[in-house]
A and B are shown apart, each in its own frame.
Chain A
Amino acid sequence: MNYQWNWSIFLQPTAVGDTTYLGWMFAGLQMTLMLSLCAWVLALLLGAVVGVLRTVPNKVLSGLATAYVELFRNIPLLVQLFIWYFVMPELVPQSLGDAYKQSHPVLQQFLAAMVCLALFTSARVAEQVRSGINSLPKGQKNAGLALGFTLPQVYRHVLLPMAFRLIMPPLTSEFLNIFKNSAVCSTIGLLELAAQGRQLVDYTAQPYESFIAVTIAYVAINVVVMTLMKKLEDKVRVPGYMGGK
């Protein structure tokens, strides 16, 4: 194999002349980070709400929450993405659909991708939240109620703070997943990290450099996320509980 390695390719201006190829990579990285972080914040909030609803006594609410989880967990991510990007704008009220279609194409891609990733991940977060709440001693809820807390107060002050501590490890892996899953969004043309990598191959015919760079970027994201989550886990560790000091 006589492949011509050329690492300096990253410093060359792109064929379009807007920036260097490294600039493309950074633009992709930025898009991946922005998309994933926005989707993650939404997924956490939605997942917490849906996870809580799955554990409430009200059968209608818990049934709806179960349906939500099953829906978003069981349809393939790619199919969900196409539905949000291609189908939804036709189904919503026309004025809203038109406004969407007249917005900047990148904004359209970003919104569809963000909503898709957020809802898909929220269903998985909800499952973790539910299992965290259910693994707490049953008496905790009663203790909160017996003190005069309302049910929402019991969740807010008693159940969720402990449940979230318990599910930190699986939440970390969901957080990592959302970065990996965001690569799917290149299929609707969003120029995130993986898409920029492919574009670089098309323009330069230097696939190895391109994909090595993309890989390094994903690994770096992983390392940073894991380090931060570990720090957070240590910070909120409860003294005298589960090996805490």
Chain B
Amino acid sequence: MAEAHPVGFQWVMEAKKRGAKVFHVDPRFTRTSALADTYLPIRAGTDIALLGGVVRYILENQLDFREYVLAYTNAANIVSEQFADTEDLDGLFSGYNPDTGSYDHASWQYDGQEGNATVRGTGKERDSASGLEHESHGEPVPARAPRDETLQHPRCVYQILKRHFSRYTPEMVARVCGIPEERFLELARAWTENSGRERTGALVYSVGWTQHSVGVQYIRTGSIIQTLLGNMGRPGGGILALRGHASIQGSTDIPTLFNLLPGYLPMPHHADHPTFDEWVDSIRHPGQKGFWGDSRAFAASLLKAYWGDAATPENDFCYGYMPRMTGDHGTYQQVLNMIDGRVKGYFLLGQNPAVGSAHGRAQRLGMANLDWLVVRDLFMIESATFWKNGPEVATGEIVPEECRTEVFFLPAASHVEKEGTFTQTQRLLQWREKAVDAPGDARSELWFFYHLGRVLREKLAGSTQRRDRALLDLAWDYPTHGPHAEPSAEAVLKEINGYEVATGRPLGVFTEARDDGSTAIGCWIYSGVYADGVNQAARRRPRHEQDWVAAEWGWAWPANRRTLYNRASADPDGRPWSERKKYVWWDPDAGEWTGYDVPDFEKTKPPSYRPPEGASGPAALAGDDPFIMQGDGKAWLYAPGGVLDGPLPTHYEPAESPMRNPLYGQQANPTRKIYEHPINRMNPSPPEPHSQVFPYVFTVSRLTEHHTAGGMSRTVPRLAELQPEMFVEVSPELAGEVGLAHLGWAHLISGRAVIEARVLVTDRLTPLRVDGRIIHQVWLPYHFGTEGLVTGDSANDLFGITLDPNVLIQESKVGTCDIRPGRRPTGPSLLDLVGDYQRRAGMTPDRKVPVVTTDAAGGDDAAGSTDEQSAAAHQDGEPHA
């Protein structure tokens, strides 16, 4: 955090000054470690083992915040007797389908509700990254599930949790993660001692956590701890995701993502959502508790914002115009399709996948096989010059005279040359004023897309093609100003906020949304950012003139709440858990919720409210159900559905690991998204043979002085000067073992690429003793490429493509490699070196990566029917028997 989010880290130091203990867990000792009370080095990819150890410590010692857990979580819920845990199935849960590599969630449901599962093991949800829809709401569950308030029932969530994590002992943590037992116990003690009525603890992660084949489950494990300890919805608590880009939160809320529409509405699927009603019902789940029950109004209002006058209740608001998903259309699938010649044109909007995405060579070869490419950026980046300066030109794989891709480079306006909002990492929208005009041809994206839409519509005017109706009927009428006819960002923000169609009155809050076409809302969770016709995101009341919550600085979604689920900061009766930690509470005299923040609860619903029989939507939430977007108003320690790789987190080894999983026969996430494509060869991991060809673990992260793929930092003289060269950090022990000299050169080899880097020998990296052997880890910055003031090989070239099943994010924080002294070969001999490693590692083009590595699935869905078959399958490299 001190390295990558330095100014945010000042608040950690403030907390430390007031007595907070700071623990830092990282494969590499950084500036954060230097300022922490305790630093725990960890083997990359093993965080679930560490956090699972903390869960076990809490449960074994009964250190959970029991009143909070009983009232606000599903700890007492009783799970189906059909459920089988990873304890029973050697690392698999019940319901696994080896043919699709995915789970049927029926047996994970609560007792008697097995028929409610929405995910049935077809792999469809994985392909559409449906887990992402849960950013703002939970998976549906029936409101009333059988419970045992004594937590003694062997199938209640509390007991299942206890059994599931029982083998995550301090010894096991040491064995898997390489963290000494005493150091682990220090962490577990401090975390639990600092939680409860009087105290809260915060968990902060950077989004490198998401870049794992089990990324979502990392965060789930953290959530389980924070929920057991009563740290959610309370001041000083929570889980804080440090996102890496100025408006990456905004890019998820108002997504430019294939599977989502604004406000986490799902993009329609051709088979599941042929009609508007089916689409809406799949979101709102009729009869469901919680605010998602109003989603018909959100969906209708979005389509109304898109298609304006053409969208009417009679024509289902032009739902028939919406494009439909049929499977995985994510960025990595797209790149493989480009290589296979199936994509014509590609837009890159301030994005540099040649350096920033996993498997850079696949990215560049894909771009070299398009009809046309549009790059919009401030600088001439690697993704615009791959046909000229890319590494594949040197190896002869791309010959400019033979590369047909037509490239348009359009200069973009910078953040001071346009106005608009960024949403920072705490859901806070901040409006930026424009300072100066953009130079020359540089334009904002707002300008480019508005005018592109205008030109397209002009060209199509009079078209009778059915496919052109959606463009011609589009509400695309924004006021413009200035010599270049810049569209008004404020007018777009007003549409995002939503307005009453008849009067144009901006809505104040999303509960004003209607499903009859009388409201248009671009992104319902942002409703209120333009309340009263005032740009609330532009509010800048100085911090000295308001309290510490600073509610009048910018605007946070939803409804300007700064801490989500803050009803949980009060006890079930609505009283603060303690005077020290009071935040939002029930004022019985005024008959409303009050406090420092906007209450994340219906303002006048008393704690004693109990829903009438048959209620649904918000009315079905009781006065003591704080987690109001969840189907049952509770925080989920156990997810009876929705999380595609298991109801509970389980330690799996990374897709590429030098080690056998010490916990289960199942080696890696059995539901991870694998792409079998000749260009995407994964290094072998146990139990496959030849993993020793790539004996070292590598991980990548950021330098303080550079930004992501370097397009905004290697081009800036001051930053380039501060970090001028690509390098690799290695421990003195590894340097000795391999023969690397400090400041000399080394090259690193994976099954995809060879890159070179200067060597930094440092004890910031420590060899780890895990499972009786020494594992060496090396660290690389991922900012370098061939353009800009300072250049170097790209670390992301080393990675293959394997994705988390819930959100389709790639595993690009851990992989295996070899490292050798000296510079890499150049020209075609570089390919020979990769080919040589592939041969030695058995990475033939037709090899199938084994998915199931245990025989224990049981039942008809058993992964391997006999030991012999299974063992033979492993040898053959078949995915499963």
Chains A and B bind each other? no
